[in-house]
Amino acid sequence: MVKNGKDCSTEEKILEAAKKVFITKGMAGARMQDIADEAGINKALLHYYFRSKDKLFETIFAQIAQRFLPRINDIFNSELSINEKIEAFCKEYIDNVLKNPFIPLFVINEMNKQPEGFVKKLFGNEKPQLDKFITQINNAVKKQEIKQVHPLQLIINTMALCVFPFLAKPIIQWVSGMNQTEFRAMLEDRKKSVPQFIIHSIKN
Partner DNA sequence: ATAATGTTTAACCATTTGGTTAACAAAATT
Partner DNA sequence: AATTTTGTTAACCAAATGGTTAAACATTAT
Task: Tell me which residues touch a second copy (CB under 8 A).
Answer: 23-29, 105, 108-109, 111-113, 115, 118-119, 123, 127-128, 130, 147, 150, 152-153, 156-157, 159-161, 163-165, 167-172, 174-176, 186, 190, 193-194, 197-198, 200-202
Residue 181 binds which of DNA, a second copy, none (CB < 5-8 A, kind-dependent): none
Contact 108, 159 (CB under 8 A): no
DSSP codes of every residue in 88-127 = HHHHHHHHHHHHSTTHHHHHHHHHHHSHHHHHHHHHTTS-
Report the residue number, 46 or 155, with the smaller CB distance to DNA.
46
Report the residue number, 22 or 133, with the smaller CB distance to DNA.
22
Contact 154, 202 (CB under 8 A): yes
CB of residue 47 to a second copy, shortest distance in Å: 21
- Report the C-alpha gap between 190 and 110 in whole angstroms: 26
Rounded to the nearest 10°, the torsion over CA 92, 95, 100, 106 is: 50
Report the residue number, 41 or 178, with the smaller CB distance to DNA.
41
Report the residue number, 4 or 112, with the smaller CB distance to DNA.
4
Residue 184 binds which of DNA, a second copy, none (CB < 5-8 A, kind-dependent): none
Q: Is 141 in a helix, a strand, or coil?
A: helix
Q: Burial, 102: exposed, middle or buried (Cβ in 10 Å; 0-12, 13-18, 19+)?
A: middle
Residues that bind DNA (CB under 7 A): 1-2, 10, 30-33, 41-45, 47-48, 51-54
- Report the C-alpha gap between 162 and 191 in whole angstroms: 8
Residue 67 binds which of DNA, a second copy, none (CB < 5-8 A, kind-dependent): none
CB of residue 39 to DNA, shortest distance in Å: 9
CB of residue 78 to a second copy, shortest distance in Å: 19
Report the residue number, 114 or 135, with the smaller CB distance to DNA.
114
**138 Cα distance to chain centroid:** 27
